């Protein structure tokens, strides 16, 4: 139980997918102009992540090593399609405002990275808990970004007017540069908290292999 | 002709895929520590994006749509792109070894690059015809190359700059990107 709890908490700050492993960045800034979009994307990604990790973990001993990537991709694409159709059916407005970022969950490195690094080697329970932890770690960052951007950029939260009428919205925060700025400041805050949490302990390396070259990449090039 | 130029300028500068649309940020941060590497990655992405665009357009309009299978779009496109990248890798390795050495190491990263998949979805969403799709894919991937090159250039200077310790590493990169993005907002009025 304690071990599962450790796996769960890991995704929140210590190995937060967005701030530390730095994967799945695209959707995090694009959809966070409003809090509702942020929550929607967070839930959608968590669904795909947990289901893919569950399935891959169940079949981890049957999947041949050499063709594991295509198999992972197809499993993830299947769940993304399910999620996409569900969203179109039940939340058409949300689905429309997130646009291309829903199908892009397929290549969201969080899903691919966790499936490859975690659930293809770990038992089912751990994988599901890891999926939940990573999903919630992703969702809280989206909500944190969206709260700042919607409040300052539009004066509202979840569509309700929060700021007094005299407040003139700073459109900058809704626009792309505002997204980069807010993300950068949140990341600095979270990384400093992590440094304090890990004070004295040496953090494990958390580089992923899906967006950067492996260490021996440059040697291979020469 | 003018509509093609409009598509090109819009996709290259106004809606720059990285700075304005936040797509392909992982490789933008991960692959820009070195100017040479960022150009290599940018060219490899350009090459594969244009090919993927040319392959998925006929698949969608000639196979999926007539049979009412549009909902399989995600599944089919990702498989086609993965297969395409493999084929390109085999072909380059065998026939053009010099190009393979320059580009080969980036190819495995490209399968999961959002830019390529996003272009193939966008050309369907925007109802582009075949020629427009190709122009669009070229413009988007050149925009990607431009943004990569800009950040890679700035990063070389950042290495020797006194950065406040709490902004070290990645936060400062996003702050830089934010300022570059402000500059790109200036292109917004280019097309009426």
Q: Is residue A62 part of a domain?
A: yes
Question: CB distance from B32 to chain A under 8 Å?
Answer: no
Q: Is residue A150 part of a domain?
A: yes
Which chain A residues are within 8 Å of B123, Cβ to Cβ?
A: none
Do A132 and A46 form a contact (C-beta atoms < 8 A)? yes
pLDDT score for A221: 34
Q: Is residue A217 part of a domain?
A: no
- Number of A–B residue contacts, CB under 8 Å: 139
Q: Is residue A219 part of a domain?
A: no
pLDDT score for A217: 40
What domain range includes position A188? 8-201
> What is the ipTM metric for this complex?
0.85
Whether B166 sits inside 8 A of A107 (CB atoms) is: no
Residue B69's SS3 state is coil
Q: Is residue A46 part of a domain?
A: yes
* pLDDT > 50? residue A120: yes
Q: Which residue of B has its CA nearest to A186?
A: B171
In chain A, pLDDT over 70 holds for what percent of residues?
90
Q: Is residue A209 part of a domain?
A: no
Q: Is residue A222 part of a domain?
A: no
Q: Using alpha carbons only, what angle is made at residue B36 by residues B182 and B9, rounded to the nearest 5 degrees?
A: 40
What integer best gives the mean pLDDT of chain A? 82
Q: What is the pLDDT of residues B68-91, one digit of tens each?
A: 888 888 889 988 888 888 888 888
Distances (CA, A) of B123 to A88, A151, B39, B56, B191: 20, 34, 25, 10, 19
DSSP letter at A160 equals E
* pLDDT > 70? residue A213: no
pLDDT score for A60: 87
What is the rounded average pLDDT of the residues A79-105? Answer: 88
Give every residue of chain B whose pLDDT is below 70, as ranges. 103-104, 192
What is the C-alpha to C-alpha distance for residues B4 and B6, in angstroms, rounded to an integer? 5
Domain locations along chain B: 2-190
Q: Is residue A3 part of a domain?
A: no
Whether A22 sits inside 8 A of B72 (CB atoms) is: no
Query: What are the percentages of helix, strand and coil residues in chain A, rounded to 5?
Result: 70, 0, 30
* pLDDT > 50? residue A219: no
pLDDT score for A18: 81
* pLDDT > 90? residue A197: no
Whether B31 sits inside 8 A of A213 (CB atoms) is: yes
- Specify the number of domains making up chain A: 1
Largest CA distance in chain B: 60
Whether A100 sits inside 8 A of B122 (CB atoms) is: yes
* pLDDT > 50? residue A65: yes
């Amino acid at each position: 139980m304690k071990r599962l709890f450790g796996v769960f908490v890991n995704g929140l700050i210590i190995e937060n997918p967005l701030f530390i492993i730095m994967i799945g960045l695209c959707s995090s800034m694009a959809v966070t102009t409003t809090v509702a979009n942020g929550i929607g994307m967070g839930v959608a990604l968590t669904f795909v992540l947990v289901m893919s990790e569950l399935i891959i973990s169940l079949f981890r001993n049957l999947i041949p090593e050499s063709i594991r990537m295509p198999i992972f991709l197809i499993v993830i694409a299947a769940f993304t399609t399910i999620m996409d159709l569900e969203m179109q059916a039940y939340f058409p407005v949300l689905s429309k405002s997130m646009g291309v970022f829903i199908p892009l969950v397929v290549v969201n490195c969080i899903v691919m990275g966790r499936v490859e690094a975690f659930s293809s080697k770990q038992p089912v329970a751990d994988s599901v808990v890891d999926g939940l932890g990573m999903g919630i770690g992703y969702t809280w960052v989206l909500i944190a970004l969206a709260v700042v951007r919607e409040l300052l950029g539009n004066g509202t939260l979840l569509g309700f007017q929060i700021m007094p009428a005299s407040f003139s919205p700073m459109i900058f925060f809704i626009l792309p540069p505002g997204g980069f700025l807010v993300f950068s400041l949140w990341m600095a805050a979270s990384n400093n908290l992590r440094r304090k949490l890990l004070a004295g302990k040496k953090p494990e390396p958390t580089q992923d292999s899906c967006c950067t070259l492996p260490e021996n990449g440059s040697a291979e090039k020469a | 002709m003018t509509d093609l130029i409009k598509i090109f300028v819009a996709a290259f500068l106004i809606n720059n895929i990285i700075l304005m649309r936040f797509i392909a940020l992982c490789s933008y941060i991960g692959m820009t520590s070195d100017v040479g590497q960022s150009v290599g990655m940018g060219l490899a992405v350009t090459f594969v994006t244009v090919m993927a665009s040319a392959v998925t357009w006929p698949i969608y309009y000639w196979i999926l749509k007539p049979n009412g299978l549009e909902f399989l779009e995600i599944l089919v496109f990702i498989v086609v792109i993965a297969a395409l990248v493999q084929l390109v890798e085999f072909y380059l390795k065998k026939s053009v070894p010099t190009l393979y050495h320059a580009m080969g190491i980036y190819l495995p990263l490209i399968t999961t690059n959002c830019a390529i998949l996003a272009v193939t979805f966008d050309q369907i969403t925007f109802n582009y015809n075949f020629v427009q799709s190709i122009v669009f894919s070229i413009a988007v991937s050149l925009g990607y190359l431009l943004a990569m090159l800009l950040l890679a250039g700035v990063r070389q200077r950042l290495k020797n700059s006194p950065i406040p310790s709490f902004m070290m590493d990645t936060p400062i990169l996003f702050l830089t990107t934010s300022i570059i993005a402000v500059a790109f907002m200036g292109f917004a009025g280019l097309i009426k």
